[in-house]
Amino acid sequence: MNLEGSYIYRKEVDWSLLHEGLTIPLRHLVAFKSLLDCYPLGLGRTVTMQLAGVLYPAILINQKFDREKYSRHAEVVQIRFSPKTGLPGKLQQIFCSTYEYLKKARAALEKRKIFVRIPETHKEFFVLYATSQPDVFSVETITTYELKESKSILSCLAEEEYEGYGDITRRDETAMILSFL
């Protein structure tokens, strides 16, 4: 199945994403199935995350757990990354608004392990796309600044302009492929 350029998953930024990685929901596993088929449970496969033109190594893993004891539990597939790769630091830099909010909220909780909900006005997103290479994933980020800027631009448009804003029927007849990679 060719998923090149396909949207895989949009994850709301949280503490775990900014430090360790993310869990892929069951409904989004189709993009990872072929990568995990030949790997035993609990054994990870190296994949690459491409963010702003930079490649970061990560581990794609189908978590091992007692499937007899938890027979009704769905598979748990995660993409994990180490601080040594630089990706967590880069994400903390990009999502600085969420990171600062979470740091303050966690400090106020004084070591109690409670999930911190981020207000709608501060939510940011990590978006994962497939590429032509099965073990490389493209990452896009949506920050609060970008959301506010988009909202500001769209709120200034007349209804007619807004309805035609994302018109996919527009064509650029001068567009062409100059070379293949």
90-131: pLDDT as tens digits = 999 999 999 999 998 888 877 677 778 888 888 999 999 988
171 within a domain of the structure (yes/no): no
Contact call for residues 104 and 96 (beta carbons, < 8 A): no
Confidence band for 19, pLDDT divided at 50, 70 and 90: very high
pLDDT the model gives residue 23: 87
Q: Look up the domain containing 50 and give its range.
A: 7-159
Burial class (CB in 10 A: 0-12, 13-18, 19+), 58: buried
152 within a domain of the structure (yes/no): yes
Structure tokens at 132: 């032509």
Sign of CA dihedral 141, 147, 148, 151: positive
91 within a domain of the structure (yes/no): yes
21 within a domain of the structure (yes/no): yes
pLDDT the model gives residue 179: 61
- Tally of domains within the chain: 1
Phi, psi of 133 (to 5 degrees): -100, 125
pTM of the model: 0.74
34-38, 120-124, 167-171: segment of lowest average pLDDT: 167-171
2 within a domain of the structure (yes/no): no
129 within a domain of the structure (yes/no): yes
CATH number at residue 138: 2.40.330.10
178 within a domain of the structure (yes/no): no
Closest CA to 2 of 131, 128, 129: 131
Which DSSP helix (H) or strand (E) runs through 167?
none
**Average pLDDT value for residue range 153-169:** 67
68 within a domain of the structure (yes/no): yes
